[in-house]
């Protein structure tokens, strides 16, 4: 799946609703269908939960996991991580993402 950045505060706020959420192992995945015509990805992990190296590693793993997904819908995907999430392996992240009903 190809994607562009989800970078507006209003987009993040629209996705952060319980109806679009799936949470497991410190990772919250929010997915909603959009009308833009392209897939958009947003990643959020606080500096309180991990240092810069672990935050960037988490972001790289999320991007790699999303690239491997196959879907015909145009989706907005927001992934939020905690301190546990920064230590997850790629295969664990893929398993979490694929368990979301829209993915």
Domain of 22, in residue numbers: 4-98
Residue 86 lies in a domain: yes
Average pLDDT over residues 14-28: 87
Distance CA 44, CA 103 (A): 19
Distance CA 95, CA 37 (A): 26
Average pLDDT over residues 95-99: 91
Average pLDDT over residues 61-70: 92
Residue 58 lies in a domain: yes
Residue 103 lies in a domain: no
> Would you say residue 44 has pLDDT above 80?
yes
Q: Is the dihedral of CA 90, 68, 16, 39 positive or negative?
A: positive
pTM: 0.89
Average pLDDT over residues 69-82: 90
Tokens found for residue 34: 């959009």
Q: Count up the domains in the chain and report the number.
A: 1
- Which CATH number characterizes residue 53's domain? 3.30.230.10
User: How far is CA 31 from its chain centroid?
Assistant: 8
């Amino acid at each position: 799946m190809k994607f562009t950045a989800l970078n507006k505060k209003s987009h993040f706020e629209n996705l952060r609703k319980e109806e679009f959420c799936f949470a497991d192992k410190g990772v919250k995945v929010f997915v909603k269908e959009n009308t833009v015509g392209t897939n958009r990805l947003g990643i959020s992990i606080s500096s309180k939960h991990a240092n810069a190296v672990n935050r960037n590693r988490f972001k790289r793993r999320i991007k790699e996991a999303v690239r491997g997904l196959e879907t015909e819908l145009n989706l907005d995907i927001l992934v939020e991580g905690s301190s546990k999430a920064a230590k997850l392996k790629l295969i664990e992240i893929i398993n979490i993402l694929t368990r979301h009903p829209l993915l």
